[in-house]
Amino acid sequence: MSTRRFTALFAFLIVLVLSLGACSQATQTPVAVEPVGPVAIVQPVEQVVAATDINLVVGDFFATLPDGFNAITKVEDMTELMAGADPLIVDVREPGEYAEGHIAGAINIPLRSLTQNLDLIPTDRPVIVMCASGLRATYAATSLQLLGYTNVRNFFPSYKGWTAAEQPVTTEATEAEAIGAPEVDPVVFAEVDTFLSTLPEGYFSVGKVEALQEMLDTGSVTLIDVREPSEFAEGHIPGSINIPIRTLGENLDQIPTDQPVVLSCASGLRASLATAALHVLGYGNARSFPPSFKGWSSAEMPIAK
């Protein structure tokens, strides 16, 4: 075979091989590839804790007040409790008052510093709070109960009632024992702490019948009688409106914020309790009338029915 014919044949074979390879690639079945979408990124879920509604807390406190309003109103009941239950007595008067005389075994925590000394107040033992006349003790008991203490009661006769009954007193101080503060709701604590730590002289009270009469004469005061309707119907201070204490939380629309509000009851216990709780709600214009209806009627002031 000549060189020229061999070269031509070789070239023909190369072209044939290349053509067959190209056809083979063209006839292969393509593999379907599914499109890849965006990758979902899972974000961490934030746990949102609802803030405490202080109106609900105080409203529930009012509505569930027991008979007796968590108070010890007789000296003999106090002596019986002291003999059998070993309560911790907390005297919330000022240090100078405490030093002049107090019930034996009582510790001293001045009212304005009460929330800063919760580590001295147990939750698993009866606690009785007292003061001079009952006003500050009622504020203290109400504040502690709002903070969750279910073991706290108020000795309403307080030091004046105790000494009037010729019960023994001492000047020997009792050291308080730190036991650790309980967990309390921070929202409620903030409101209670503000109320107690900023108490002015006089403790938001109208202490004399004549002072209340002067306020009524101006016509710029709302006087609220927190007794039961039956008590109110039997006689009340002229110009007062009746909102029973257990319903105060659902009748806040009747309590103004732009003028003085004075709370009255039978003896001053419920009025002081209501005053403290309303201050925790932000009613800085609320004041207690400790003489209440008994003091008003004893002064032979006019009575409405």
**Band of residue 27 on the pLDDT scale cut at 50, 70, 90:** very low
pLDDT digit string (tens) for 122-156? 999 999 999 999 999 999 999 999 999 999 999 99
What is the mean predicted confidence (pLDDT) over 21-34?
Answer: 44
Please give the CATH architecture assigned to the domain spanning 209-298.
3-Layer(aba) Sandwich (3.40)
The rounded percent of the chain whose pLDDT value lies above 90 is 83
- Which residue, among 13, 152, 166, has the nearest Cα to 70 in the 3D structure? 152
Q: Alpha carbon 25 to chain centroid distance?
A: 82
> Which residues make Cβ contacts (< 8 Å) with residue 298, sequence separation at least 6?
291
What confidence score (pLDDT) does residue 19 get? 47
> Which residues make Cβ contacts (< 8 Å) with residue 149, sequence separation at least 6?
121, 123, 127, 182
* Alpha-carbon distance values, 260 to 47, 138, 205, 219, 264 (Å): 42, 21, 11, 10, 13
**Band of residue 33 on the pLDDT scale cut at 50, 70, 90:** very low
pLDDT digit string (tens) for 65-80? 999 999 999 999 999 9
Q: Distance between CA 58 and CA 278 in Å, rounded?
A: 8
Structure tokens at 162: 């105790």
pTM of the model: 0.84
- Which residue, among 288, 277, 304, 227, has the nearest Cα to 59 in the 3D structure? 277
54-197 and 209-298 in the same fold: yes
Structure tokens at 58: 């105080």
Name the more confident of 216 and 40.
216
- CATH class as words, domain 54-197: alpha beta
Which residues lie across from 152 on neighbouring strands?
127
Structure tokens at 40: 């979902």
What confidence score (pLDDT) does residue 268 get? 98
pLDDT score of 62 more than 80: yes
pLDDT digit string (tens) for 68-119? 999 999 999 999 999 999 999 999 999 999 999 999 999 999 999 999 999 9
Q: Distance between CA 271 and CA 282 in Å, rounded?
A: 17
pLDDT score of 44 more than 80: no
- Which residue, among 129, 119, 98, has the nearest Cα to 273 in the 3D structure? 129
Domain assignments of the chain as residue spans, ordered by start: 54-197, 209-298
